[in-house]
């Protein structure tokens, strides 16, 4: 996370943040504190996540529910070759602009070494991934292209 751009507001229960009449019952929360991962070091991409503490408790309702992370045996389940669903308001095309409508896409999880090989062609690879992309990274996309959750333009090549 770029610590110069600390989030100030979190909106829960949103669908189209440009349309107040989209039927979504959203709620805004101020960010009381941010806790970056202790092993995140810019410009590296490893551990690029942050914990946000909101200014008050979140009351669960039909439009606001937690995303359950895997635990126990499920947390060690191998996902390679499995389809997973990604959601977010990201760009809908390379070098495009973020969507105001929540997007959803199904992608396939690849072996991390496939992503490492493909990403190694990018100019920022040595500074972002100096140790390479290993098993700690979930690598997913569409082998025919056009569906992913990242900004980098990367072609995944798979040998049969």
DSSP 67-133: PPPP-GGGGG---TT-EEEEEES-BSSTT--B-SB-EEEEEEEE-HHHHHHHHTTSTTHHHH-TT--
Instruction: Give the percent of the chain with pLDDT over 70.
Output: 89
Reduce the DSSP state of residue 44 to 3 states and report it. coil
Per the model's pLDDT, the better-predicted residue between 47 and 97 turns out to be: 47
Q: Are residues 29 and 83 in the same domain?
A: no
- Tell me the average pLDDT across 85-95: 81
Note whether residue 112 is domain-resident.
Answer: yes
Residue with tokens 């991409």: 45
Strand partners, 86: 105
Residue 158: per-residue pLDDT? 43
Residue 144 CA to residue 157 CA, distance in Å, equals 10
Q: What is the CATH number of the domain that holds 136?
A: 2.40.10.10
Residue with tokens 């960010």: 31
Q: Are residues 50 and 96 in the same domain?
A: no
Give residue-wise pLDDT tens across range 47-59: 999 999 999 999 9
Buried b (16+ CB within 10 A) or exposed e, 134-149: eeeeebbbeeeeeebe
Query: Cis link prior to 109 (omega < 30° from 0)?
Result: no
Note whether residue 40 is domain-resident.
Answer: yes
Q: Are residues 84 and 120 in the same domain?
A: yes
Residue 157: per-residue pLDDT? 44
Binning pLDDT at 50, 70 and 90, where does residue 154 land?
very low
Note whether residue 61 is domain-resident.
Answer: no
Note whether residue 43 is domain-resident.
Answer: yes
Q: Are residues 31 and 82 in the same domain?
A: no
Element (H, E) at 54: strand 50-54
Residue 150 has pLDDT above 70, yes or no: no
Residue 120 has pLDDT above 60, yes or no: yes
Q: Which range of residues forms the domain containing residue 91?
A: 78-141
Note whether residue 21 is domain-resident.
Answer: yes
Report the mean per-residue pLDDT for the chain: 85
Number of domains into which the chain is organized: 2
Note whether residue 50 is domain-resident.
Answer: yes
Tell if the pTM clears 0.85, that is, is over it: no
- Tell me the average pLDDT across 14-28: 90
């Amino acid at each position: 996370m770029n610590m110069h751009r600390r989030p100030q507001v979190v909106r829960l229960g949103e669908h189209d943040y440009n349309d107040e009449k989209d039927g979504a019952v959203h709620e805004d929360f101020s960010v009381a504190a941010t806790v970056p991962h202790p092993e995140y070091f810019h410009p590296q991409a490893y551990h690029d996540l942050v914990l946000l503490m909101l200014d008050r408790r979140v009351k669960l309702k039909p439009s606001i529910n937690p995303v359950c992370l895997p635990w126990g045996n499920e947390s060690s389940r191998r996902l390679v070759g499995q389809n997973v669903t990604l959601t977010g308001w990201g760009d809908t095309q390379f070098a495009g602009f973020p969507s105001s409508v929540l997007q959803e896409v199904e992608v396939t999880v690849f072996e991390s070494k496939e992503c490492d090989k493909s990403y190694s062609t990018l100019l920022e690879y040595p500074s972002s991934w100096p140790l390479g992309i290993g098993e700690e990274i979930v690598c997913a996309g569409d082998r025919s292209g056009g569906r992913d959750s990242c900004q980098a333009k990367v072609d995944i090549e798979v040998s049969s």
